[in-house]
Amino acid sequence: MFELLKTDSHTKARCGRLKTAHGVVETPVFMPVGTQATVKAVDPRELRELGAQIILGNTYHLCIRPGIEVIRAAGGLHAFMNWHGPILTDSGGYQVFSLAKIRKVRPHGVEFQSHVDGARLFLGPKEAMQIQRELGSDIAMAFDECPPHTATQRQFRAAVERTIHWARECREQPHANGQLVFGIVQGGTDAQLRRHCAEAVVALGFDGYAIGGVSVGEPEPEMMKAIELTEPYLPIDKPRYAMGLGTPAQIIEMIARGIDMFDCVLPTRVARNGGAFTRKGLLSIKTAAFKTDFSPIEEGCDCFACRHFTRAYLRHLLNVGEILGLRMLSVHNTRMFMRLLADARAAIAAGNFDEFRRQFVANYKPSRRILAARGPD
C-alpha cells in the first residue's frame, strides 16, 4: 500500500509511493482542494496536465449539496465529477471547528445546523464513514474533533479522548472496496496529549495518519511545534498527512520534518484575490506595478498562463472583472505547487534535499497578504 523509497540523510524528508484504488501517488504530494466536487476554476483535464495526482472532497459539504443520493446515482464521486484519479475525502471533522456557531458536540457525534438552509444534520463516526463509503473515495478520513488553537487544556483533553473514541468506531465501520482509511491525531501543542493521541490512534492500525488541529489560526511556530510533537509517534511505514497546510515555504519545512502529504486552499483562493505564487514569494498582480509588465507571471514556469499571457494582460483581466484572469492565476498557482513538490521529490531521491530546502527558504519571501489557509474552497 505504501512503499518508503528513500529518506534524506540530513533531515527527516522522505519520498515514497502510495498505491490507491485509482492509481499510484508519488510522495511527498500536494493535493488540490475540491470541497464541492471541483477544484475552483480548474477543470479535470487541466488538473491532469498540471500534474495533480490526487484531489480532495469534503464529506459535510457534499452530503448537504448535491446530496449523497445524487452522487450515488451518478456512480460515485469519481464519475460524478469526471476525475478518475485518486480522491481523498475529509470526514467533516474540520467543520466541527469552522462551523462552531451552528453545531453541538455530542458523545456520539456532532449535530450541525446546515449552513445552507438550517436543516439538522448529524455526523458521527458511523455516518461519516458511511457517506465516504458511498462517495467511493480512495482515502477516507476518520471522524475527529478539531478544537481551536485557543481551546483550554480541558477542552483539548476532551477533544483528544473523543477523537480516539471516534477513531475506534470509524475503524470498525465497513468501507468501499479498496478504500484506505486514515486516522487523525489531535492535541494542540501539548506534548503529552499529542503522544497519547498518536499512540492510541496508531494502535488501531489505520492505513495512514494525519496530523490535525493545525492551520486553525495558530501562529506558525505553534503549527510547526504540533508537527514536531506528533511525527515521532507515527509509523515509518505509513503515509503522514498534515491537514490543511500550507504556504510553499511551510510545506518545504514540513517535508523536512517527515511529512508526506499536504492539502491547502491557498493556490486557488489566493488566485481569486489576484495573487500569484512564485519561487520568490507572492505577487499581487492587480497592482499598478504590473500595468506595463509584459513578462510572464514567473520566468521558467511551464503553465499555460505563463506560456501565453503577460502580467500586464492578467492585471487588466483582474481589474475589469474578467473570469479568465482568476482562472489563469488558479492554473499558475496550482502548477507552481505541483512543480515545487516534484522538485522536492527529485531532491530527496538525489540526496540533496537539505541544500534544496535551504536555497528555497532563503529565496522565498513570506507575504503578510496570505489569506486563511484552511477552510472550504
324-352, pLDDT tens digit by residue?
999 999 999 999 999 999 999 999 999 99
Alpha-carbon dihedral sign for residues 286, 289, 294, 295: negative
The whole-angstrom separation of Cα 288 and Cα 115 is: 38
pLDDT for position 75: 98
- Report the C-alpha gap between 63 and 180 in whole angstroms: 20
pLDDT for the residue numbered 373: 73
Mean predicted confidence (pLDDT) in 291-311: 98
Nearest in space to 262 (alpha carbons), one of 1, 35, 27: 27
User: What residue has cell string 458521527?
Assistant: 124
Average pLDDT of span 209-222:
94
Provide φ and ψ at 274, rounded to 5°: 85, 15
Say which of 8, 90, 207, 260 is annotated catalytic.
90
Confidence grade of residue 371 (pLDDT, cut at 50, 70, 90): low
pLDDT surpassing 70 at residue 27:
yes
* Residue at grid coordinates 479498496: 178
What local confidence, expressed as pLDDT, does residue 178 receive? Answer: 98
The region of weakest confidence among 330-334, 361-365, 368-372 is 368-372
Cis omega (within 30 of 0) for bond into 375:
no
Match 476532551 to its residue by C-alpha cell: 158
- Which has the higher per-residue pLDDT, 204 or 102? 204
Distance, in Å, from the CA atom of 206 to the CA atom of 326, rounded to the nearest integer, reads 39
Average pLDDT over residues 18-32: 98
Mean pLDDT of 11-16: 98
Has 90 been annotated as catalytic?
A: yes
Q: In this predicted model, what pLDDT tens digit does every residue of 41-50 receive, in sequence order?
A: 999 999 999 9
For residues 189-194, give the mean pLDDT: 98
Average the pLDDT over each of 57-71, 72-86, 100-114, 330-344 and give the range with the smallest value.
100-114
pLDDT score of 187 more than 90: yes
Q: Where in the chain is the domain with CATH 3.20.20.105?
A: 2-265
Mean pLDDT, the chain, as a whole number?
96
pLDDT at 368 over 80: no
Asked if residue 9 has pLDDT above 80, the reply is: yes
Give the range among 77-86, 217-226, 367-376 with minimum mean pLDDT: 367-376
Active site residue 377: no
Mean pLDDT for 175-199 is 98
Catalytic residue among 138, 260, 263, 377: 263
**109 Ramachandran zone, left/alpha/beta (phi>0; psi -120 to 50):** left
Class of domain 2-265: alpha beta
What does the pLDDT read at residue 4?
A: 98
Q: What percent of the chain has pLDDT above 90?
A: 92
Q: Beta strand 120-123 with 2-7: parallel, antiparallel or unpaired?
A: unpaired
CA distance 183 to 168: 9
State residue 208 phi and psi, 5-degree precision: -165, 170
Distance CA 354, CA 252 (A): 10
CA 33 to chain centroid: 6
Contacts of residue 188, defined as CB under 8 A and 6 or more positions apart, other chains included, come to: 147, 149, 151, 156, 194, 213, 226
Average pLDDT over residues 214-242: 96
Average pLDDT over residues 105-128: 92
Q: pTM to 2 decimals?
A: 0.97
- Specify the pLDDT at position 200: 98
Question: Does residue 372 have a pLDDT over 80?
Answer: no
Q: Which three cell numbers stand for residue 5?
A: 523509497
